Amino acid sequence: MNFKHKYVFLFPGLFVLIGILIFPIIFTIRLSLSGWNSYTPEMNFIGITNYIRLFTDDPRFWESFFRLSFLSVTTVILQYIIGFALALIVWREIKFKRFFRVIFLIPMMTTPVIMTVIWRTFFHESLGPVNDLLGNLGVKPILWLSDPVIAKFTVIIVEVWQWTPFMFLLLLAGLLSLPKEPFLAAAIDGASPFRKFVYVTFPLMAPISIGAIIIRLIEASKIMDTVFVLTSGGPGTATETSSFYIYIKGLREFQMGYAATLSFTYLVIMIISLTIIAKVLTKLMIKE
């Protein structure tokens, strides 16, 4: 077969790549340079006017971005700690470990929007069972969805409950793939369980941990459905994330050109941020 003919087999994949990745990005860039909105229903060219507006006259976007950073980093850290702990428990020889593996995955297998509606019912401040239970214990009702600070932690609770099983699944798969020889050597040397974890398990799991953390950070940085259903960005803008703010500008106010500017800027920031985070985690967790 002629070497050039091999490229023919690459064309289907190339067309798919162009269709689902390259073209939308190019179209978003072009749209960000237009003034398309509800008053100007055409993609007229206005240059970098939207970008100037973003960097000089839209503090709400940057507030939503830093709020998103707090929510995503906090949820991923908690998911990693809890997921690793659950994976270590099931990794050991315990009774009914197959049963527990299935039970721990149930939250991830439920529909996020439906479960968020249920969580919103749980946290209802006058009718929800959470405050009823706290009242029976002598605790005053908590404003789960009305207090700006507590509402953030309510979102974190729902996200951690929903996606910790994903972290648990990745880390358990990593634990099951670890070689047995280092653990046998540590046992011969009389290492305690804590020292085995610190000097054997954790270092061996470092590459898998980094991958799991980055994957979850990518997903957590797109928090939208939980915020939309649970708090609608409220109270005020206390739980408004970048994705939700872009949704407001694009699909509520129909400022399509400006929403495209927000989307592309957000994409660039996230690519740079995640690249830096991956390098830092690699330097901290993987010892040469």
Task: Read off the pLDDT of residues 16-67 as tens digits, 9 standing for 90 and up.
Answer: 888 888 888 999 999 999 988 878 777 889 999 999 999 999 999 999 999 9
Reduced to 3 states, what is the DSSP secondary structure of residue 22? helix
Q: Give just the sign of the alpha carbon dihedral 128, 131, 135, 140.
A: negative
Contact, 126 vs 141, CB < 8 A? yes
Q: Using CA atoms, how far apart are residues 19 and 205, in angstroms rounded to an integer?
A: 37
Model pLDDT for residues 236-281, shown as the tens digit of each residue: 899 999 999 999 999 999 999 999 999 999 999 999 999 999 999 9
Query: Where in the chain are the domains?
Result: 58-285
Q: Using CA atoms, how far apart are residues 222 and 183, in angstroms rounded to an integer?
A: 39
| CA nearest neighbour of 269 among 73, 65, 70, 72 | 65
Contact, 131 vs 125, CB < 8 A? yes
- Report the Cα–Cα distance between both ends of the chain, in Å, rounded: 44
Is residue 131 over pLDDT 60? yes
pTM of the model: 0.90
Is residue 288 over pLDDT 60? no
Q: Which fold does the domain 58-285 belong to in CATH?
A: MetI-like fold (1.10.3720)
The token duo for 96 is 């009914």
Model pLDDT for residues 86-109, shown as the tens digit of each residue: 999 888 777 777 777 788 888 888
